[in-house]
């Protein structure tokens, strides 16, 4: 079996403030992956869209059954579960579609806008990426814009960072 043979779906169930709640969920997942020091768990956003520009209300976490069980052992969702529906660990369906999920340039920041003026189209696209506002413990920034890019790609192995994103590794899309 593939190392990404299983998944868990997290669905925001609130009617309002879903973008902020998704940012909180993503931040908590990042902290949990940091605690686990895991590079074997990836994420996808099944409702990701460029038009309208959104990551959606679903976060799918991919990994082996063992890795996902280890992820869910701790109480990293404490005090937040009333905003979520969390699926059980499920076996991923067979698929031929894969994508890499990577961080875009720091979308919306002055540097990205200046790069667009100086270098053109590639940087303009980064200004319109779906994004989440999250905090950073390492840089101590309270909030910054975290652009997320989906790149269709053939199935490729590799490591994921502590956000569950990768420049090389793909996750199944279904």
pTM score of the predicted model? 0.83
Q: What is the pLDDT of the chain when averaged over all its residues?
A: 84
Arithmetic mean of pLDDT, 90-106: 85
- pLDDT recorded at residue 68: 97
Distance CA 159, CA 39 (A): 5
- Record the tokens describing residue 7, joined without a space: 């998944």
- Better pLDDT: 74 or 88: 88
Q: Which are the contacts of 31, defined by CB distance < 8 A and separation ≥ 6?
A: 76, 137
Domain ranges across the chain: 6-169
- pLDDT recorded at residue 105: 59
8 A C-beta contact, residue 169 and residue 158: yes
- pLDDT recorded at residue 1: 40
Write the pLDDT tens digit of every residue in 113-137.
555 566 555 544 555 678 887 776 6
- pLDDT recorded at residue 136: 65
Beta strands, E only, 17-143: 42-44, 49-50, 53-54, 58-63, 84-86, 90-91, 98-103, 131-134
- pLDDT recorded at residue 69: 97
Architecture of the CATH domain 6-169: 2-Layer Sandwich (3.30)
Handedness of CA 14, 17, 23, 24 (dihedral sign): negative
Helix count and strand count (H, E) for the chain = 4, 11
């Amino acid at each position: 079996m593939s190392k990404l043979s299983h998944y868990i779906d997290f669905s925001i169930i609130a009617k309002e403030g879903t973008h902020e709640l998704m940012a909180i969920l993503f931040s908590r997942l990042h902290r949990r992956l940091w605690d686990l020091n895991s590079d074997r768990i990836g994420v996808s956003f099944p409702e990701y869209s460029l038009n309208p520009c959104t990551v959606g209300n679903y976060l799918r976490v991919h990994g082996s059954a063992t890795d996902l069980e280890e992820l869910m052992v701790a109480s990293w969702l404490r005090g937040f579960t009333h905003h979520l529906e969390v699926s059980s660990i499920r076996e991923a369906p067979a698929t031929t579609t894969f994508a890499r999920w990577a961080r875009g340039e720091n979308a919306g920041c002055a540097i990205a806008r200046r790069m667009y003026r100086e270098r053109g189209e590639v940087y303009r696209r980064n200004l319109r990426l779906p994004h989440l506002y999250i905090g950073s413990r390492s840089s101590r920034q309270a909030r910054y814009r975290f652009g997320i890019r989906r790149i269709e790609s053939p199935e490729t192995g590799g490591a994921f960072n502590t956000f569950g994103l990768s420049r090389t590794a793909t996750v199944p899309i279904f």
